Amino acid sequence: MASLNDVHISMPKESQVPEKEYFDYSQRAQWLRAAVLGATDGLVSVASLMMGVGAVKNDVAVMILTGFAGLVAGACSMAIGEFVSVYSQLDIEVAQMKRDKRMSDNEKNDEESENEHLPNPFQAAFASALAFALGAIVPLLAAAFIGDHKVRLIVVIAAVTFALLVFGGVGAVLGKTPALKSCVRLLIGGWIAMAITFGLTKLIGSSGL
């Protein structure tokens, strides 16, 4: 007969509790930085260029052609610049890894794990060019279907403002950072850049240079 003082308490096994998989969000920074920078640059630079031209000429065709030329040139420039920059960073990090390995004399280092954290220049260049093109399409589409010149400029500004907020929010979600801070920072920076570019373009166009 079992003793009445024997009390059996069943404890849950640790294996029954699901553990959340750990994900290193810093790895996304390699292409997320290039994507956010490219999208913001394409959005702001093409919109500023179009509004600057629109301040001098009312022809919508000139605005669209100018914006499209800025899209192609900017996307190529961003891709090349990002590729060269990230490739230089890659060379520096690889050389540093080799120096560290020689100093430690440890031949059992996990090279695959180390290579996962290295920047990818092709990925960064593609993300930057694609993001620039996507950002530049916003003001082009906003201006293409508006007939009145003043209304067209207002619609472009509104579309760019909304796109800046969207880009800031998407970047914050992917990078797991505060969304409000990211959106406000991107919005203020975009407005300042547009104001400077628009003012200089209008000044040069009005002076006849």
| Residue-wise pLDDT tens digits, 160-178 | 999 988 888 887 887 778 8
74-109: string of b/e by CB count within 10 Å (b at 16+)? Answer: bbeebbeebbebbbeeeeeeeeebeeeeeeeeeeee
Domain layout of the chain by residue ranges:
27-100+119-207
What's phi and psi for 207, nearest 5 deg? -80, -10
pLDDT at 30: 62
pTM, entire model:
0.70
CA distance linking residue 51 with residue 195, whole number of Å: 10
pLDDT at 68: 92
pLDDT at 114: 55
CA distance linking residue 54 with residue 46, whole number of Å: 12
Mind listing the pLDDT tens digit for each residue in 44-58? 889 888 888 877 777
Query: CB of 123 within 8 A of CB of 89?
Result: no
Burial class (CB in 10 A: 0-12, 13-18, 19+), 146: middle
CA distance linking residue 78 with residue 37, whole number of Å: 9
CA distance linking residue 100 with residue 114, whole number of Å: 12
Average pLDDT, integer, range 93-114: 68
Q: Please check the confidence at residue 13 and state whether its pLDDT lies above 80.
A: no
Average pLDDT, integer, range 146-161: 87
Residues shown for the chain: 209
Q: Which residues contact 90 (CB under 8 A, 6 or more apart)?
A: 118, 119, 120, 121
Average pLDDT, integer, range 103-115: 56
Better-predicted residue by pLDDT, 203 or 26:
203
Average pLDDT, integer, range 114-119: 64
Band (pLDDT 50/70/90 cuts) for residue 73 is: very high
Better-predicted residue by pLDDT, 67 or 209:
67
Q: Please check the confidence at residue 17 and state whether its pLDDT lies above 50.
A: no
pLDDT averaged over every residue in the chain: 78
E strand or H helix at 73? helix 60-104
Average pLDDT, integer, range 4-13: 51
